[in-house]
Structure 1
Amino acid sequence: MTAVSTLSAFATSIADGTVEVVDLTTPLSPSTPILTLPAPFANTQGLSTTPVSNFDDAGPGWAWNDLHLGEHVGTHLDAPTHWATGRAGRSVAEIQLSRLVGPAFVIDRTNEAAADADYLLEPADFEAFEAEHGQLPPGAWLLFRTGWAARGDDAASFINADDTGPHSPGVSVAGAEWLAAHPNLSGFGVEQVGIDAGQAGGFDPVFPVHHHLLGADKYGVTSLRGLDRLPVAGATVVVAPLPIVGGTGAPARVLAFVERD
């Protein structure tokens, strides 16, 4: 009876606006920026659609499309099986649902990222965050706000590449090790195209957040928007990827629930 009452109160709070539902998802379209690897590596495809019928002879009363897209396009979840260090771990359809819902914490480095596109979070940043806001509780999702979402409708600005490769903020090797070792962390979310920094292909190991986080049975989410609408602590996040059997990841709808006065 208590569980029913709790859920009823939650539904009422959404209906009356006491709890706001904030969409953290980038709209998915053919122009949504995607990660592009240098040659000789293969790349995923972005979104494209093929009409099946559109109120025509193929279907006079209905419209629908076939979708063609990669697992790691737009706002998406990286499962452990996406990376060599997690290849024996869980695919996206095998992740425990309780790991995809949890308290959200926002670490904000918008000013630093504006001054330095290659800004990196270090263990000291995470330790200072916990010193101020308390240790991350079980099931926590740590979300990295950088202001990068404002670039999301301009692929060139979002990827921010030059002759030395892409430049976007991220996490250092030591910072990635800290995230992977945290006993309570379920996942790490970013506004950028990938969970690693733009220059992380030159780190040791390469792409250390992928290497350490996914290898530790934790999850990454990319291309988030709306983090500026969340408090530093107190929101609840729901990460809802498509349950692709054997999938290394999947496009996801990411929602946050925020109490309002």
Structure 2
Amino acid sequence: MPLNPATTAAAVEPPLWALHRELIDKTVRTDLTHAFHPGQPHFPAFPDEEREMPFDMSRGDGFNVHRYTIVGQWGTHIDPPVHFVAGGRPLDEIPVEEMILPLVVLDISARVATDPDAVPAMEDVAAWEARHGAVPAGAFVALRSDWSRRWPDPAAMANKDDAGVSHYPGWSAEVLRYLFEEAGVTAIGHEQTDTDPGLATSAGDFSLESYVLERDRWQIELMANLDQVPEAGALIVATWPKPQGGSGFPARVFALHHSS
């Protein structure tokens, strides 16, 4: 009498496959990535994306192929240490062990709604830790500002005043020092174009981004949908291509979490 295939498969199912089924059945997958395209918001010194189709089925070719001309820091992207640090780690030297991390969401969106120049304070971190315990070592900490709701409008993202000064949120030195030097986090991310707030970048000050990358850490910029994930308890998966010696590249980032 033949064995029941379902019973046999269940009896010998590898543990990781069982874990995958459990993750699929019991978690939500939230994309934290913008789709990139020509004309999108970007750092003003960078050229716009150029996109061509050397092979196009609408012209009678047998397949579609795009050629993309972009800077590495394009759309939702990773900044590895070498982006600001000569001799720092490039993309191909960041191990896959750093690509699946506990996700901490530090939410300052309520303040940003009334003050676009808002930055996180240690009081925000203390309040998070009072609710959830210490920021876990090795975590990815994302700054939620809801600034990504302005995507893909370049003017709304830059938010310049009549004098050409940008007003958008960013990190603060005190919070970054705590996260990297005391909590021991692996990486950070944010919704705006820069680590530093708009008031700083408008003056040519990128000292906070330098601080992060000089510590041999990396970051994800221009994240999306942080309002759809819990502030604690989720996992983040951050992936990107592997150009040898690469100083930046568009990333695909998503979170695994329980439904609210």
Change (3 A) 1:87 1:181: farther
Give 1:176-215 correspondences, 5 Å limit: 176-201=176-201, 206-215=205-214
Instruction: Give the C-alpha shift of residue 5 in structure 1.
Output: 4.2
Q: Which residue of 2 aligns with 1:39?
A: none
Change (3 A) 1:209 1:150: same
Q: Secondary structure at the match of 1:62?
A: coil
Report the structure number with the largest CA radius of gyration.
2
Aligned equivalents of 2:130, 2:34: Cα separation in 1? 32
Aligned equivalents of 1:69, 1:61: Cα separation in 2? 26
1:106 aligns with 2:108: no
Aligned equivalents of 1:10, 1:31: Cα separation in 2? 41
Q: Which residue of 2 aligns with 1:125?
A: 124
TM-score, length-normalised on structure 1? 0.87
Would you say the 8 A contact 1:14–1:21 is kept in 2? no
Q: Which residue of 2 aligns with 1:67?
A: 68
Aligned equivalents of 1:180, 1:15: Cα separation in 2? 32
Would you say the 8 A contact 1:102–1:141 is kept in 2? yes
Q: Which residue of 1 aligns with 2:169?
A: 169
Q: Which residue of 1 aligns with 2:18?
A: 9
Instruction: Give the C-alpha shift of residue 80 in structure 1.
Output: 0.6
Change (3 A) 1:15 1:120: closer
Aligned equivalents of 1:68, 1:164: Cα separation in 2? 28
Aligned equivalents of 1:5, 1:226: Cα separation in 2? 33
Instruction: Give the C-alpha shift of residue 199 in structure 1.
Output: 1.6
Instruction: Give the C-alpha shift of residue 15 in structure 1.
Output: 4.0
Aligned equivalents of 1:215, 1:48: Cα separation in 2? 31
What does the per-residue CA deviation read over 1:197-221, in whole Å, with 9 as the maximum and x for residues that have no partner?
1122378x93232121111111111
Q: Which residue of 2 aligns with 1:40?
A: none
Would you say the 8 A contact 2:165–2:202 is kept in 1? no
Aligned equivalents of 1:222, 1:192: Cα separation in 2? 7
Aligned equivalents of 2:165, 2:74: Cα separation in 1? 20
Matched AA of 1:173 = A
Change (3 A) 1:100 1:200: farther
Instruction: Give the C-alpha shift of residue 79 in structure 1.
Output: 0.6
Change (3 A) 1:105 1:13: same
Would you say the 8 A contact 2:151–2:157 is kept in 1? yes
Aligned equivalents of 1:171, 1:116: Cα separation in 2? 14
Instruction: Give the C-alpha shift of residue 56 in structure 1.
Output: 6.1
Give 1:13-52 correspondences, 5 Å limit: 13-16=22-25, 18-36=26-44, 43-52=45-54
**Runs of 4+ deviating beyond 4 Å:** none
Q: Which residue of 1 aligns with 2:10?
A: none
Richer in strand (by share): 1
Instruction: Give the C-alpha shift of residue 129 in structure 1.
Output: 2.4
TM-score, length-normalised on structure 2? 0.87
Q: Which residue of 1 aligns with 2:3?
A: none
Change (3 A) 1:103 1:62: same
Instruction: Give the C-alpha shift of residue 135 in structure 1.
Output: 1.6
Aligned equivalents of 2:42, 2:165: Cα separation in 1? 15
Unaligned stretches of 5+ residues in structure 1: 37-42
Unaligned stretches of 5+ residues in structure 2: 1-12
Number of aligned positions between the proteins: 247
Q: Which residue of 1 aligns with 2:7?
A: none
Would you say the 8 A contact 2:34–2:76 is kept in 1? yes
Would you say the 8 A contact 1:101–1:139 is kept in 2? no
Q: Secondary structure at the match of 1:185?
A: coil
Would you say the 8 A contact 1:172–1:208 is kept in 2? no
Change (3 A) 1:15 1:104: closer
What does the per-residue CA deviation read over 1:11-63, in whole Å, with 9 as the maximum and x for residues that have no partner?
213543x1111100011111221011xxxxxx222322111111267x62111
Identical pairs, percent: 29
Name the stretch that deviates more: 171-180 or 46-55: 171-180
Name the stretch that deviates more: 244-253 or 164-173: 164-173
Would you say the 8 A contact 2:117–2:169 is kept in 1? yes
